[in-house]
Amino acid sequence: MPKAKPTRKAATTLDLERYVPALITFIANKLSRTATQTYQTRFGVNVTEWRIIALLAIEPAISASRICSVIGYDRGPVSRTLASMEKRGLVSIESDPNDARSHRISLTERGQDMHDRIIVVALQREARLLGCLSASERQTLIGLLARVHGNLDAVSD
């Protein structure tokens, strides 16, 4: 069996316990995976569908491009997800009377009912996640994350 060649050690390596992009990614990936498991099993929707449902509950009758902008997904996957959700009766998609090239997407009554059932579980999950923080630490975390989110343009290359 051939011996592995020694590799040159990089001058600098990441400390994954302190590298913020990795921490955010790891948290987001694990939250998404467990959310999909929970929401798929209990409600028959995946995390992408839940994110769209949650946004439509906040901003009814918005366009697919607005959904993409807020949740940070590409238009193709969002369009496919919306088509599936429309077939299942969760959303309605109507032409925008002010712009024939655009559509307004809204929750149906079934979609709103789904939202109302899932939101309870989503808020319970958030409470458990943040249970290790005091109330003031939670507020600090939310404020810091909002500032970082607002600064994302600084890294759009």
147-157, pLDDT tens digit by residue?
A: 999 999 999 87
- Whole-model pTM? 0.86
Please tell me the predicted confidence (pLDDT) of residue 157.
79
Contact between 92 and 86 under an 8 Å Cβ cutoff? The reply is yes
Q: In this structure, what are the phi and psi dihedrals at residue 132, rounded to the nearest 5 degrees? A: -85, 0
Tokens found for residue 33: 């995976």
What number is the average pLDDT over the span 67-77? 93
Per the prediction, the chain carries an average pLDDT of 93
* pLDDT tens, position by position, 90-123: 999 998 788 777 899 999 999 999 999 999 999 9
Contact between 52 and 64 under an 8 Å Cβ cutoff? The reply is no
Helical H runs in 11-134?
20-43, 47-58, 64-71, 75-87, 109-129
Domains of the chain: 35-128 (1.10.10.10)
Please tell me the predicted confidence (pLDDT) of residue 138.
98
From residue 135, alpha-carbon distances to 24, 42, 122, 141 in Å are 21, 29, 18, 10
Q: Is the pLDDT score of 35 beyond 70?
A: yes
Contact between 12 and 20 under an 8 Å Cβ cutoff? The reply is no
Please tell me the predicted confidence (pLDDT) of residue 1.
64
- Other C-beta atoms closer than 10 Å to the C-beta of 27 total 11
Q: Which DSSP symbol is given to 93?
A: E
